[in-house]
Amino acid sequence: MDSRPSLLMGVIGTNTEVGKTWVTAQLLATLKLRGSRVAARKPVQSYGPDEIDTDAARLAGASGEEVTDICPAHRWYPIALAPPMAANALGRGPVWISEIVDEICWPADVDIGFVETVGGVRSPVASDGDSLELLRRLDVDQMLLVADAKLGTINAVRLTLAAVTPTPTIVYLNRFNPDDPLHELNRRWLIEQDKLTVITDVHSLAVAIEDAFRNSGERTPKPRCCAR
């Protein structure tokens, strides 16, 4: 029987190196401890040739899945470039987004599934599509936007949300320091001026996602994805 998580979350970032994988891994571990059935997918990954602890490996360690279920082995590109560029540099031909979408499979009976993208929301994941196009093809229920708390984050968050609208989005300010006046001003501005849901700690984020999961039963069911 085909399967799709009851709540499918797309994980996006304002840029590369904002902590998407760290946040997703923390969420997977926290939600598991709280009793949710979780899974994660990193449909394609590129990384430095000497890097051992890849994004897929970290997600697998948190979710308890096999690393090749997180990201198929033929979608690993050991060169620090955007995935389609890395594939070309390695002589492995073009990467097509339809192929990536078709390769995403979920185990049965998953409550909450996370699809982690690459770089920023418009970063290419394939020769013919970016992170945003991938999540649109998957028809995710909600997005989690990981952003820095530092100077410039308001602009970065606004630009990203303009691209993903109207998909419901939670903003997570990573590396937030409540004693840093700038971090707190940014948080308050995004909440009070932009009317966004902004969270700064993993426990509260897990609770918010659990609430979204409970509410997901009230929505019209979406088509199922393939299952192994």
What are the CA-CA distances from residue 66 to residues 70, 125, 143 (Å)? Answer: 7, 22, 24
CA distance 104 to 106: 7
Q: With a threshold of 0.85, does the pTM exceed it?
A: yes
**pLDDT averages per 10-residue partition of the chain, 228 residues:** 86 96 98 97 95 94 97 97 96 95 96 97 97 97 97 98 95 98 98 98 98 78 53
pLDDT confidence of residue 216: 83
Q: CATH assignment of 7-227?
A: 3.40.50.300
pLDDT confidence of residue 142: 97
Q: Which residues pair with 199 in a beta bridge?
A: 172
Of 80, 140, 112, the C-alpha closest to 7 is 112
pLDDT confidence of residue 3: 84
User: Is 121 within 8 Å of 133 (Cβ atoms)?
Assistant: no
- CA torsion 78-127-93-102 (nearest 10°) is 90
pLDDT confidence of residue 227: 45
Assigned token pair, 94? 């073009």
Of 133, 137, 122, 144, the C-alpha closest to 209 is 144
**Catalytic residue positions?**
42
DSSP string, the chain: --B--SEEEEEEESSTTS-HHHHHHHHHHHHHHTT--EEEE---EE--TT--S-HHHHHHHHH---HHHHS-GGGEE-SSS-HHHHHHHTT-----HHHHHHH-EE-TT-SEEEEE--SSTTSEEETTEEHHHHHHHHT-SEEEEEEESSTTHHHHHHHHHHHHTTS-EEEEEET--TT-HHHHHHHHHHHHTT---EE-SHHHHHHHHHHHHHHHTTSPPPPPBEE-
